[in-house]
Amino acid sequence: MDGNLSWVLDRATRIAGANIAVIDGDRRFTYRELDRRVAGLDAGLAALGIQGGDVVGVLALNSHRHFELWHAVPRGGAVLNDLNIRLAAAELRYILEDADTAALFVDDAFLQVGSELAAEIASIRHLIYAGDGVAPAGTLSYEELAATAPRPAPTLPPDALAGIFYTGGTTGRPKGAMLSHANLLANAKHVLTGFGYESDDRYLHGAPMFHLADGATTYALTWVGGTHVMVPTFDAALVAHTIQQERVTISTLVPTMINMLINLPDLDTYDLSSVRRLNYGASPMPARVLTDAMGKLDCEWAQAYGMTEASPLVTICSTEDHRRGAAGEEPYATRMRSAGQPVVGVQAEVRRLDGSAAEVGEPGEIWVRGPNVMQGYWRREEETTAALDAEGWYHSGDAAYLDADGYIFIVDRVKDMIISGGENVYSTEVENAIHMHPDVLEAAVFGIPDERWGERVHAVVVRKPGGTVDEAGIVEACRAQIAGFKLPRSVEFSANPLPKSGAGKVLKRDLREPHWKGMDRRVS
């Protein structure tokens, strides 16, 4: 694919220069102003000696500065390494060292840990303060960099590396997915084709910006001159207030965020009528949560499925599927439970273990191919070879089946599948059944060791306020939905929210670990 990421902001500035590009609290920047700041940052980084191929880290909450860095870092050929804000210092250190990070941007929330890491990591030459105050001792000022006299955007080849995005994974060290300018441009085109953003759209960045579930829109909406609305981090009341105040039209949230939003006690006091569509993805959406959400929020709905390695968009379950499915029409009601069909420009197939195509309805692994698929894992040749075959197919690790119309129904992560007594149990199916009970706010299902069955189905449940359901009630709620061998054999109730990643995904590995501690394997 021709071009590089500087084309995105360049087009927006030319066709929509007077449009509001970013709203961040009381700050407003037009596209002309944004372009000037981004070009200044690029020139400022170059003046610091940051060259093409150098890695620039970002550890910050959502903000206009964070957004600007998505444009400024790759503009000059440097490589963006946007860090998961929920990671511990040791995990951040590993990623920063693994990537040979040359400069690190931090805001007020991460100034202390960023300063400590910069002092410990030899490759980091510059620590840049991206907060509102005066740059503290030992840091450089973001605003002074942004005020640097601009330089023309260098000409970069499409296959130049634009970002290294580290995937969490459930085992082992994080791996850095290498995404090129062409990868991210392709994804932006896929998003525009699939979601149809317009220049008058106002998109709320409610999910964390370091995650590509949110980043998928960063370039796409900019390309058509739309407006980006920032909140520093997800808070259901703040999100509802911001939607009302800034007349937000679109957002992408993960299911846990949607669940928190629709369970706001005073949800009906907010005017959310400006929202024309909510997209969801990044983790499974329980059927009951989706039904409740569609009943409480009067807008169109669409599901996006993808992964970091695909920049990230792979499939979309459309607004029509949701609208007609909610009305009970078939086959739309069934399709609403799917991840949808591959977006234009991407191939997605379900394959058996031997690589042959699975039959309709037969579970297998999703394979993905297209111009959005990563170049490989940073310095992980063996893992790259295992994930990307010679024909360019990425082996996703997601278990799914296809229907006759090419809709992909995801049943689980391959590694999250529970094998109990020789039977495959998909945790998402059990979680969906548990969520059918009206007292359930959150649920996570995974396998724990069992002497008789090898693994048994275990559930951790968070009740809604005032909920009284017990273990027997959970099992009975499931019995009406799923086969007996899939029923939870043990249920644990938590008074606290389930642990989540910075992107809002439930961290099953944290819940699973105490049950497998001291064992050689995480399966029996």
Cα–Cα distance, 27 to 115 (Å, whole number): 27
Question: pTM score, two decimals?
Answer: 0.83
pLDDT tens, position by position, 370-390: 999 999 999 999 999 999 999
Report whether 392 contacts 369 (CB < 8 A): yes
Report whether 493 contacts 469 (CB < 8 A): no
Report the Cα 196 to chain-centroid distance in Å. 19
In this predicted structure, what is the pLDDT of residue 171? Answer: 43
pLDDT at 142 over 50: yes
What is the three-class DSSP state of 174?
coil
Its CATH architecture, for the domain 346-413, is Roll (2.30)
CATH of the domain spanning 6-233: 3.40.50.12780
Q: At what angle do helices 6-16 and 31-47 cross, to 10 degrees?
A: 150
Q: Of 433, 409, 458, 475, nearest to 289 (Cα)?
A: 433
In this predicted structure, what is the pLDDT of residue 522? Answer: 40
What is the three-class DSSP state of 204?
strand
Both tokens of residue 190?
């896929």
Instruction: List the end-to-end C-alpha distance of the chain, in Å, as a whole number.
Output: 46
Rg over CA atoms, the chain? 23
In this predicted structure, what is the pLDDT of residue 399? Answer: 87
pLDDT at 295 over 70: yes
In this predicted structure, what is the pLDDT of residue 172? Answer: 57
pLDDT at 210 over 60: yes
Give the list of residues 6+ apart from residue 385 with CB closer than 8 angstroms, or none: none
**Helix boundaries (H) for 255-298:** 255-262, 287-296
In this predicted structure, what is the pLDDT of residue 412? Answer: 64
Least confident of 356-365, 388-397, 406-415, 458-467: 406-415
Cα–Cα distance, 38 to 148 (Å, whole number): 10
How confident is the model over 168-179, as a mean pLDDT?
74
Cα–Cα distance, 289 to 46 (Å, whole number): 48
How confident is the model over 330-353, as a mean pLDDT?
95
What is the three-class DSSP state of 145?
helix
Neighbours of 71 (CB within 10 A): 24
- Delimit the domains of the chain by residue range: 6-233, 346-413, 417-516
**Helix boundaries (H) for 336-378:** none
pLDDT band at 168 (very low <50, low <70, confident <90, very high): low
**Max Cα–Cα distance, the chain, nearest Å:** 70
Least confident of 78-92, 278-292, 353-367, 374-388: 278-292
Least confident of 92-101, 170-179, 185-194: 170-179
Please state whether the peptide bond connecting residue 331 to the residue before it is cis, i.e. omega within 30 degrees of 0. Answer: yes
Both tokens of residue 271?
């005017």
Phi and psi at 216, nearest 5°, equal -55, -30
Both tokens of residue 371?
């111009």
In this predicted structure, what is the pLDDT of residue 379? Answer: 95
How confident is the model over 50-72, as a mean pLDDT?
98
Cα–Cα distance, 507 to 88 (Å, whole number): 14
pLDDT at 520 over 50: no
pLDDT at 75 over 90: yes
How confident is the model over 430-453, as a mean pLDDT?
88
Which residues, listed in sequence order, are joined to residue 175 by a DSSP beta bridge? 167
Residues 261, 266, 270, 276, CA torsion sign = positive
pLDDT tens, position by position, 23-49: 999 999 999 999 999 999 999 999 999
Please state whether the peptide bond connecting residue 312 to the residue before it is cis, i.e. omega within 30 degrees of 0. Answer: yes
How confident is the model over 264-274, as a mean pLDDT?
97
**Distances from the Cα of 304 to the Cα of 319, 400, 506, angstroms:** 11, 15, 18
Q: Which of 442-470 are b and which e, b meaning 16 or more Cβ less than 10 Å from the residue's Cβ? A: bbbbbbbbbeebebbbbbbbbbeeeeebe
pLDDT band at 190 (very low <50, low <70, confident <90, very high): very high
In this predicted structure, what is the pLDDT of residue 451? Answer: 67
pLDDT at 423 over 70: no
**Distances from the Cα of 4 to the Cα of 279, 375, 408, angstroms:** 27, 15, 31
How confident is the model over 90-107, as a mean pLDDT?
95
Strand blocks (E) in 354-431: 364-369, 376-377, 394-402, 408-413, 418-420, 423-425
Cα–Cα distance, 411 to 503 (Å, whole number): 21
Cα–Cα distance, 89 to 422 (Å, whole number): 40
Cα–Cα distance, 77 to 486 (Å, whole number): 51
pLDDT tens, position by position, 327-340: 999 999 999 989 99
Least confident of 38-47, 100-109, 147-156, 285-294: 285-294
Q: Of 440, 445, 511, 428, nearest to 473 (Cα)?
A: 440
In this predicted structure, what is the pLDDT of residue 422? Answer: 57
In this predicted structure, what is the pLDDT of residue 410? Answer: 85
Q: Do domains 6-233 and 346-413 have the same CATH topology?
A: no
CATH of the domain spanning 417-516: 3.30.300.30
Which residues, listed in sequence order, are joined to residue 406 by a DSSP beta bridge? none
Cα–Cα distance, 524 to 521 (Å, whole number): 7
DSSP state of 371: T
pLDDT tens, position by position, 246-257: 999 999 998 889
Share of the chain above pLDDT 70, in %: 95
Report whether 459 contacts 486 (CB < 8 A): no
Average pLDDT, the chain: 92
Q: Beta 364-369 vs 394-402: how paired, if at all?
A: antiparallel
